[in-house]
Structure formats: structure tokens, C-alpha cells
Structure 1
Amino acid sequence: MSDDGAPLVIAVDGGGSKTDAVALELDGTVVAEARGTTSSPHVIGMRASADLVSALIARLLEQTGPRPIAATNLYLSGLDLPSEIAEFRARIAGTAWAAASVDNDLFALLRAGTDETDAVAVVCGTGINCVGVRSDGRTIRYPSLGTISGDWGGGWHLGERALWYAARAVDGRGAETMLARAVPAAFELGSVQDVIEALHFGRIPNSDLARLSPTVFACAREGDPIAASLIDEQAEEIATLAVTTLRRLELLDRPVPVVLGGGVIGGRDERLLGTIGRLLAEQAPAARMELVTAAPILGAALLALESAGAGAASLEAARRTLEERPAAVVQ
């Protein structure tokens, strides 16, 4: 650290599988880092989420020693509703970072991909979500609560659908597919029935269905038509979210960046990205895709520095350092 008395900014990005935290000085120098498991309150509950984030920040401050905090920005998957953000704020009340800027992790992804004030971001990792912003302050958000809020996509949904097709192929209700062999192999089990029973009796956590996402992509690349149809369905859903958000913001006719990130997108599958690109070209020809391959902690750090009034040179210094952190790849 360059100055034991210099103020810090703290940034946290929490996704469906991991949570990253960094402390930076106002010149953009990264002085401490910490990583934990998922902090999504949808997965671990709101109390555990706040406790995990607070523990990560405490680990940062152990590394830096006592320092004034100029800004704290926290972006977490699972903070989708205003009531969830309010509850999280209540959980961190009394801490040194109680006044933190708190929001969904999509805003970190958005800032990692662009600083334009008219923009859309879609994340497709363990789950799927989208946000759009407009220079006049309008924001489009989605509840992102899964099937009950109209969502489909991400590693978990791909895995669930892969098992559905595999089960039907085995018992004769559906067409043959490579997934019937690949799904049990992914769990090192002998049959689809073994997978079904392991999930039913809790030997495999339901959340582990996301582990099947790489299997779907691998089978699609090997020519399996059912796996390929799942990749196409995923691409269509990503494009639908982006185009719908552009339409709702009245930005369909403008050259707006559509920032794409998350572990499923980060695998850079040619079929997935090609289909997304084709659909965007057909339905929102002025938009342009921006792929984010850096970890979203980059965007969280840039937002924290901006909150503290840091200048362009500081932002660039942080970007140079944090761009080296690759995003997690689900598939």
C-alpha cells in the first residue's frame, strides 16, 4: 500500500457461484482482495448474504490496516426487488459501510462493459437477468425470480432441461439424445435413473444441475440436435431480453451497446454468440454486442471509484489491473 493514511474505496461483486471484493486507493491501485462463495440471498438467505459480504470487507481491512473509507459499492446477484435491497441495507446497518451503494450485480457488469448512459446488459451465468438504462434516468429491470417471473436460462435451467430430455429419451417418451449418456457421466453415475434418484433423495443438491451446462454445449458441438436446440433457445432468450429492454427504453433505433456477460456467455460458444448476433441484427440493427470477459468486480471497482470522485487516470489504472481477472465460465 502506498500510504497507510490514504482513503480507500471498497467494491464487492457477488454472483451465483462466487463473491469478489477489492479495496483500492483513489489512484486506482488495488491494495487488497478477497473471495468467498455465493452471496446471493436467493441461495443462502439475506442474513447469511450480509454476513458473508461483511466478512469479506473485514478481510480487506485486515490486509490494509485501519483506513478511512471514501466509498463502498456492493453489487449482488439476488438483489432484484426494492424490498430485497432495503432488507440488505438493514442487515448491514451499524457497520462502517452502512452507507454503501447497494444494487444488483448487473450494474457492475454494465459498467465493466461500457460507460455509455444509454445501454443494456444481459447476464447469463447460473441464472439470467437483464437491465437497461437511459441517459434521462429511466431504468428497466426484471424481477429475475425464475419461472414464476417469466425467466428461462442460465446454467441451472440448461441443466434442468438437459436432464428432462435425457429422462424422456431413456424411458421412450422422447427422442434419442447424447444427453442420455452424457448427463450421468457428468455426475460420475451409471444411469439417468441414478441421477434422478440422487437429486430426489438430496444426495446431489438441486443447485448442482448447473454443472450440466458444459455437457449441453459439448453435446451440441458434437451434433446432438436436442442439445443444439437448447443452445438456440438460450440465445433466443438472451436476444429477447435485450431487444425487449431496448424497445421499452425507446432505444431500438439508436447505436446502443448490449453488454453480455456471465459464465454461459463467457464460454464464447460460436453457436450461442452467432445466434444472438443474428437475432440482434434482425431485431435491433443499430445495437452492438459488447462481450465482457473480465470478472464483474472490474465494473464494481470503477463504480466505487466514480462514487469517490476519482478521475479518468485512476479508472484506467484500475481497469488495467482488474481486466486480468477473467470471469468465471459455466460452460
Structure 2
Amino acid sequence: GLNSPFGWDYILGDEGSGYEIGIKALRALMRAYDGRGESTLLSKTVLEDLNIKNISELIKWAYSDYFLKVRVAAIAKTVCKTAEMGDKISKKILKEEADEAIISVKTVVDKLCLADKEFDLVFVGNVFMCEKYFKSVLMRKLKSKFTKINFKSLTKKPVEGAIKLALENL
């Protein structure tokens, strides 16, 4: 069976992903812009990194063909950079999504009865390049729950693993 409580893609649920971080950043900067939310450096850094001059252009971008999942996910890198600049909202977004990823991992660990066993957790995706405010938070909290967990970073493309598994099962 499928042991994944997350990764259903951006419509049904993509918690802990670069896309979710990007969407939260866009929403936070819009809330800051219209006065419903706190001011945030994201208002500057996201526009700069998207090469967009103002909110009107951002709105056009959001409703154009350029608004692709991969482009929204790329905003996670900006959120990480902005968190490192001390931005409270960026740090909050990263903490929330790290917590979501932890819930997902815990769900799989519980389903597979791995809590007291040694197991590997492989980090896949650019969001794990955000060391200080995402990856290290995730690792610290998971290690406190599952003392025998081993953390690995993906060294090959996922398709290579799929091909290897397919060949082994011929």
C-alpha cells in the first residue's frame, strides 16, 4: 500500500513543501500590502526575486501562464533567505511547514511501526536546502521523537531509484 500522508500535490495537500511555503509567502505579502497582516521583508524580497516591480505586476503574474507550481515552489528559497535576514513572518512560515512535515513523517512511522526501529529518512526537494529554519528544525524534532532515525540526502534522481527497483523486480 501507499504509506504517504502527504505529497498529494498542491490541490489536495502539499504540506511541508516548497510550493506550500511559496503560497504562504505570497499570501503573507498580500496581507501586509492590504493591511490585514504584519509587514514583512517578503514584500521586497519576493518581488525582487521574481523580477516584479510592484503588487499590480504580482497580481498579473499570479493570474498568468507564468504562475506555475514550480515557480511558486521556487519562492521557498526566497523565504529561507528572508528568514536569514531576520524576518519574523518568513521564520513563522518555515516553522509551520517543518511542523507539517514532522506530522507527515510521524504518521508514516506509526503506520509502519518504526518508532523503536532504526530507519532512514531521505530528504528530497529543494526545501531541504533551507538548513537553519527548516531542515535542522525538522531533524532536531524528529530525532527527539525517533532516536534511531538516520537522515539521508538524496544523491541521485528519484527516477534512477525507480528504474533500479523495476529492474530488481523483473
Same fold by TM-score greater than 0.5: yes
Q: Deviations over 1:284-311 (max 9, x none)?
A: 2222222213322332343244235xxx
1:241 aligns with: 104
Percent identity (aligned) = 27
Decide which of 69, 72, 81 is 1:218's aligned counterpart.
81
Give the one of 128, 131, 153 matched to 1:269: 131
Q: Please say which structure displays the higher CA radius of gyration.
A: 1
Of residues 147, 152, 159, the one that matches 2:22 is 159
Distance (whole Å) between structure 1 residues aligned to residue 58 and residue 132 of structure 2: 29
Which deviations, in whole Å up to 9, do the C-alpha atoms of 1:38-60 show, x marking residues without a partner? xxxxxxxxxxxxxxxxxxxxxxx
Cross-structure match for 2:147: 285
Q: State the Cα distance separating 1:180 from its structure 2 match.
A: 0.6
**Pair 262,248 (structure 1): closer, same or farther in 2 beyond 3 Å:** same
- Equivalent position to 2:90, from 224, 227, 232: 227
Change (3 A) 1:214 1:206: same
Q: Which residue of 2 is the match for residue 8 of structure 1? A: none
Checking the alignment, whether the CA contact within 8 Å between 1:261 and 1:293 is kept in structure 2 is: no
Residue 164 of structure 1: CA displacement? 0.6
Judged with a 3 Å threshold, the aligned counterparts in structure 2 of structure 1 residues 234 and 173 are, in CA distance, closer, same or farther, namely same
Name the structure where strand makes up a greater proportion of residues: 1
Matches within 5 A, 1:71-86: none
**1:275: how far off?**
0.5
Q: Tell me, which stretches of 5 or more residues in structure 2 are unaligned?
A: none
- CA deviations 1:72-95 (Å, max 9, x no partner) are xxxxxxxxxxxxxxxxxxxxxxxx
One-letter amino acid matched to 2:24? R
* Number of aligned positions between the proteins: 169
Amino acid at match of 2:59: I
| DSSP 3-state at the match of 2:121 | strand
Deviations 1:63-115 (A, max 9, x none): xxxxxxxxxxxxxxxxxxxxxxxxxxxxxxxxxxxxxxxxxxxxxxxxxxxxx
- Rounded to whole Å, the distance in 2 between the matches of 1:269 and 1:293 is 17
**How far did residue 188 of structure 1 move?**
1.2
- SS of equivalent residue, structure 2 residue 135: helix
Deviation at 1:268, TM superposition (A): 5.2
Contact 1:167/1:193 (8 A) holds in 2: no
Secondary structure in structure 2 of the residue aligned to 1:217: helix
Q: Which residue of 2 aligns with 1:130?
A: none
Offset, 1:280? 0.6
The CA distance in 1 between the partners of 2:162 and 2:11, in whole Å, is 29
Aligned-residue Cα RMSD (Å) equals: 2.2
Residue identity opposite 1:240 in structure 2? I
Listed one character per residue, the Cα deviations across residues 144-186 of structure 1 (whole Å, up to 9, x for unaligned) are: 4346644423222211111111111122111111001112112
When the two structures are superposed, what TM-score results if normalisation uses the length of structure 1?
A: 0.47
**Consecutive unaligned residues in structure 1, runs of 5 or more:** 1-137, 309-331
CA 230–250 in structure 1, closer or farther in 2 if over 3 Å, else same: same
Q: Which residue number in structure 2 is paired with residue 182 of structure 1?
A: 45
Tell me the SS of whatever aligns to 1:188. Answer: coil
What's the CA shift for 1:230? 1.4
Q: Which of 116, 123, 126 matches 1:253?
A: 116
Maintained 8 Å contact 2:45/2:78:
yes
Alignment equivalent of 2:54, drawn from 181, 191, 198 = 191
- Under a length normalisation based on structure 2, what TM-score does the superposition of the two structures give? 0.85
Distance 2:53 2:12 in 1: 35
